[in-house]
Amino acid sequence: MTLPRYFISCDWGTSNFRLRLVETENLNVLEEHKTDQGVKTVFDKFLKQDTLNQNQFFADYLVKQIQNLPVKHQKHLVVLAGMASSSIGLHELPYTEMPITMNGESLLWENLYLNVVELHLLVISGVKTKTGMMRGEEIQAIGLEEELKQYESGTLILPGTHCKHMHYEYGAFTGLRNYMTGELFEVLSSKSILSNSIENLGWSTHSEAAFLKGIEVGFAGEWSANLLTVRATQLFGESKKEDNFYYLSGLLIGDELSYLKGHEGKIFLAASGEVFRLYKIALEKLIALDNLVCFDSNTLERALLIGQKKIILRNEK
C-alpha cells in the first residue's frame, strides 16, 4: 500500500468552504484557503444558471479554488468531507447507517475523476439514524479515537449550525441526535421580530450574566414561552441589545442540553471559538465537572484530518 505524500483536505459545509494542503504522514498543514461559499450558497447560484449541470457547476468551483494553492500541489488527491456528498452538493451519496467504527471502514465513499483537469476526488458520505443525520462530523468523530479510547462510553457533542450529539460505546458510535440550535439562533436573531432587539458586541461580564439567565430558562424547558421577552425587555429599557444576543443564545443552548440534567456518564465537548465557551459554561452548570471532557479547537481541527487519512488508508486497501 502506497499512500500519497500529500493530499488536499476539503471541508465543504453548508455555510463555508475550506481547503488545506496536508502532508499525509504527519498531517502538517502547509497551506489553507477559505471562502464563505458553502454548499447552500453555491447551490443557489447553480439554480440561477442553465449552462452547467450540478456536478459540473460544483466541480468548476472546486477546481477554481484549488488554483489558490501552490501550482505544484494542485493535482493531489482531494478528500471531500461535509455537504459535498449531499443532494445539493457536488456528488450525492446515500447515508451510511449507524453504528460506525473508529477505523472508518463502516463509512461510505466514492472515487471520482475529473479527467479534464486530471483531478482525483475522494467523496465521503454522511451517517444517519432514525433520530438524526450528519455529513462531515462523523469524520471528525472517528478522528478523535486517541482521545476517546480511554473511556468506555459517553456522549460526544459537536456544536454547529445543526448540533450533533453522538453516543459513544466501546470504540464505536452507536447513536445520534440532531439539534437545529445554530440555525434557530440565526433565523431568530436576524430574520424574526427579535432581530431589532439583538446586537452582537462581544463577550462581557453583563453578557455572561444574560447568558446564564437564558440557560436557566432553557434548562427548565421554557425557552419558547420566553422568546418574546427578548423584544419586550429591550423595548421597555430592562435589557440591552448586546445582552439579548447572549440571553437568546442561552435559551436555545439550555433547551438543547436540558435532557442531560442529572446525566452521570461522560460528556465529551469538541468545539472551537466562542461556541466552545458557551457550551462549556452551560454544561458546567448542568453536569458534574468530573464528567465533562473538553477537546479544544486544535484537537478538533486535527481530528478531521485524522479521519480523512483513515478513509485514504481504507480506500488504498
Q: What is the pLDDT of residue 89?
A: 96
Question: How far is Cα 127 from Cα 60, in angstroms, rounded to an integer?
Answer: 27
Q: Find, among 26, 17, 90, the residue nearest to 52 by Cα.
A: 90
| Gyration radius from the chain CA atoms | 21
Positions of the chain with pLDDT lower than 50, given as ranges: none
Q: Which domains are seen in the chain, by residue range?
A: 6-149+298-316 (3.30.420.300), 179-295 (3.30.420.310)
* pLDDT digits 0-9 by tens, 189-210: 999 999 999 999 999 888 999 9
Q: What is the pLDDT of residue 116?
A: 80
Q: What is the pLDDT of residue 262?
A: 84
State the sign of the Cα–Cα–Cα–Cα dihedral 240, 242, 243, 246.
Answer: positive
CA 201 to chain centre: 24
Which three three-digit cell numbers place residue 139?
A: 469524520
Phi, psi dihedral angles at 137 (to 5 degrees): -65, -25
CB atoms inside a 10 Å sphere around CB 209: 14
Q: What is the pLDDT of residue 1?
A: 57
* pLDDT digits 0-9 by tens, 267-295: 999 998 899 999 999 999 999 999 999 99
State the sign of the Cα–Cα–Cα–Cα dihedral 92, 96, 101, 103.
Answer: negative
